[in-house]
Chains A and B, each alone.
Chain A
Amino acid sequence: MDAIISIQNLAKTYDGGFEALKDINLDIAEGEILALLGPNGAGKTTLISTICGLVTPTSGQVTVGGHDIIHAFRAARSLIGLVPQEITIEPFAKVIDTVQFSRGLFGKPRNDAHIESVLKSLSLWDKRNARNQTLSGGMKRRVLIAKALSHEPRVLFLDEPTAGVDVTLRKEMWELVRRLRDDGVTIILTTHYIEEAEEMADRIGIIDKGRLLLVEEKARLLHDLGRKELVLELGAPLNELPASLAGFNLSLSEDRQHLTYEFDAHAERTGMTRLLGAIAETGLSLKDLSTRQSSLEDVFLKLVQDGHSNEEAGE
């Protein structure tokens, strides 16, 4: 699939000298859901803000639908809808006026049918004549989404869409994102909830300290994450692995009290039964056993930590 957004060597250094983005390269395919994952202050919002025109890049190039965001900003921006992280909304205006206003700003002629369908899909139609300030937090967030969708964008940016949102609303939001994707909208969302990225994204990008550490298909990432460990606590310390167990992917801990067996949880045969049988034959006594699955969080933390130690090594 063609890239709808193409980012090349993008960097942003703020006036104070803070490097918010460092040499970002990323292609986003049309119709995909990309989750940008990273700790607070990683540069997620700066990246989105730069693509949307709120922040001027220091160097590099970004195109949206083939249009450069600086030289052809009108064509580029008209393809984009942005839902900001903070709930920023005109308190005294009516819901429908706010949404119509957004459509107008993007140069689109009035289209009542479209606005009606957007408001209905977000369960806001009944509230169309209510003043924004009378709405609940969840509804306000939906108004922001309605505003972003009012001009029929092909790319939607959701900056921390579920930050501070209760579980029910979060599920609703995920449902909505899937519906939009089914309609062909490309979605880029930032989050620091790993669960959210796992739930929704086709691809996951991990960003930290302004660097894009990894962009990977979620399925592949999860496959890599599918590795499980079986930890066996021994009744007595073991000096070395018995020869009959050498064929298994086993490792002995430094305290010689634990054996760790690594296996693929998705595989048809994990080899666990065979291993336990072999152990029984050697006469080793087991005190306890437990399994542990590495999660996206582990990979995330490992990547972020590796990034930090590389940086320290480089300094």
Chain B
Amino acid sequence: MNWQGILSIYRYEMNRTFRTLAQSIVSPVLSTVLYFVVFGSAIGSRIDTVDGIPYGAFIVPGLIMLTVLQQSVTNASFGIYFPKFIGTIYELLSAPLSFIEIVIGYVGAAATKALMIAVIILITSAFFVDLTIAHPVWMVTFLLLTAISFSLLGFIIGIWAKNFEQLQLIPLLVITPLVFLGGAFYSVSMLPPAWQTVSFFNPVVYLISGFRWSFFGVSDVPVVISLLAISVFLAAGLAVIWVIFRTGWRIKA
């Protein structure tokens, strides 16, 4: 393994984050604060509790997941798309690095960024609501698995994308709606039965449910199924990466 090479990519990507501090960190935090003010305080003050949890606290896990999903996909896809776009990818391909090492560097950095933002949001939310974390180890596990799986997805999107429009397509048209409809701001049990059934086809429901369980010990679906779902995601992502690695799809002639 070329650890030095992996570390170089990781550091370079992290430096990019700090160079673009405003858009990398400040903007997701700001939008989360806005969600708190609007949903948590303004609307939440009219909602008593959901599943016995004050509404303001109830939305915290969903908000964190929303941001982690978006950030993982955006960071990883942009991270690998940018060198492709400006042409500097020649250097990655001519370096003594295997494709898997390149993936570890980019996905590692994207997941780290997403996790950093998750922690910042968690801390920010503590200023607005009383938070308890029932299962901290599971919370971290869910967060890690989600950040890694969706960074992998982002990396795949970055390899696939041929232009900036395609790069934004999946985060905007797929991830955001799935998260909003995935129970970030409500419990799936609050929906009419027909819509509950539809919701169970939304993979994000399982992620948010499991993550919320790690906070409050209540969930829409059994936590084992949530874990299974995220594992399937991770495995699917790795499988696609493996195929890209074998075929050099969209990166090598």
Question: Chain A residue with minimal CB distance to B8?
Answer: A104
How far is B91's CA from A89's CA once the two chains are assembled, in angstroms?
10
Task: Render A49-62 as a binary contact track against B, CB cut-off 8 A, 1 for contact.
Answer: 10011111000000
The number of chain A residues with a CB under 8 A from chain B is 36
B26–chain A nearest beta-carbon distance, Å? 18
Q: Do residues B2 and A54 form an inter-chain contact, with CB atoms below 8 A? A: no
Chain A residues lying within 8 Å of B7, measured Cβ to Cβ, are 104
Q: When A90-B86, A105-B8, A107-B2 are in contact, do A56 and B94 touch as well, CB less than 8 Å? A: no
Q: Do residues B248 and A106 form an inter-chain contact, with CB atoms below 8 A? A: no
Query: Which residue in B15, B86, B88, B94 is a CB contact (below 8 Å) of A54?
Result: B94
Q: Do residues A56 and B91 form an inter-chain contact, with CB atoms below 8 A? A: no
How far is B7's CA from A147's CA once the two chains are assembled, in angstroms?
17
Q: Tell me whether A114 is interfacial, beta carbon within 8 Å.
A: no
Chain A residues lying within 8 Å of B5, measured Cβ to Cβ, are 104-107
Q: When A84-B87, A104-B7 are in contact, do A78 and B252 touch as well, CB less than 8 Å? A: no
Q: Do residues B88 and A89 form an inter-chain contact, with CB atoms below 8 A? A: yes
Q: Do residues A74 and B93 form an inter-chain contact, with CB atoms below 8 A? A: no
Q: Tell me whether A77 is interfacial, beta carbon within 8 Å.
A: yes
B98–chain A nearest beta-carbon distance, Å? 8
How far is B91's CA from A84's CA once the two chains are assembled, in angstroms?
9
Q: Do residues A105 and B248 form an inter-chain contact, with CB atoms below 8 A? A: no
Q: Tell me whether A193 is interfacial, beta carbon within 8 Å.
A: no
Q: Tell me whether B19 is interfacial, beta carbon within 8 Å.
A: yes
How far is B252's CA from A36's CA once the two chains are assembled, in angstroms?
23
A-B pair count, CB < 8 Å, reads 78
Q: Tell me whether A109 is interfacial, beta carbon within 8 Å.
A: yes
Chain B residues lying within 8 Å of A55, measured Cβ to Cβ, are 252-253
How far is B92's CA from A77's CA once the two chains are assembled, in angstroms?
11
How far is B248's CA from A54's CA once the two chains are assembled, in angstroms?
10
Q: Tell me whether A33 is interfacial, beta carbon within 8 Å.
A: no
The interface size bin for chain B is 20 to 34
Chain A residues lying within 8 Å of B136, measured Cβ to Cβ, are none
Q: Do residues B253 and A54 form an inter-chain contact, with CB atoms below 8 A? A: yes
B52–chain A nearest beta-carbon distance, Å? 49
How far is B83's CA from A92's CA once the two chains are assembled, in angstroms?
12
Q: Do residues A105 and B92 form an inter-chain contact, with CB atoms below 8 A? A: yes
A176–chain B nearest beta-carbon distance, Å? 20
In residues 42-80 of chain A, which contact B (Cβ within 8 Å)? Answer: 49, 52-56, 73-78, 80
Q: Tell me whether B175 is interfacial, beta carbon within 8 Å.
A: no
Q: Tell me whether B177 is interfacial, beta carbon within 8 Å.
A: no
Query: Which residue in B86, B88, B92, B252 is a CB contact (below 8 Å) of A56?
Result: B252
Q: Tell me whether A14 is interfacial, beta carbon within 8 Å.
A: yes
Residue from A78, A102, A107 with most neighbouring chain B CB atoms (10 Å): A107
Q: Do residues B90 and A82 form an inter-chain contact, with CB atoms below 8 A? A: yes
Residue from A15, A75, A84, A105 with most neighbouring chain B CB atoms (10 Å): A105
Residue from B8, B9, B86 with most neighbouring chain A CB atoms (10 Å): B8
Q: Tell me whether B95 is interfacial, beta carbon within 8 Å.
A: yes
How far is B248's CA from A108's CA once the two chains are assembled, in angstroms?
25
How far is B88's CA from A260's CA once the two chains are assembled, in angstroms?
55
Question: Chain A residue with minimal CB distance to B1?
Answer: A107
Query: Which residue in B15, B16, B87 is a CB contact (below 8 Å) of A88?
Result: B87
Q: Do residues A82 and B88 form an inter-chain contact, with CB atoms below 8 A? A: no
Task: Render B60-101 as a binary contact track against A, CB cut-off 8 A, 1 for contact.
Answer: 000000000000000000000001001110111111110000
Chain A residues lying within 8 Å of B9, measured Cβ to Cβ, are 105
B99–chain A nearest beta-carbon distance, Å? 11
A-B contact pairs, 13 of them (CB 8 A): A53-B93, A55-B252, A56-B248, A73-B96, A74-B2, A82-B94, A92-B19, A93-B12, A101-B11, A104-B5, A104-B8, A106-B5, A107-B4
16 further interface pairs, Cβ-Cβ under 8 Å (given A56-B253, A105-B9, A107-B5) = A15-B253, A49-B253, A52-B94, A53-B93, A55-B252, A74-B2, A76-B96, A88-B86, A97-B12, A104-B4, A105-B95, A106-B95, A106-B96, A107-B2, A107-B3, A107-B96
Give the top 9 A-B pairs by smallest Cβ distance, nearest first.
Answer: A104-B8, A88-B87, A74-B96, A105-B95, A77-B96, A52-B94, A107-B2, A107-B4, A78-B96
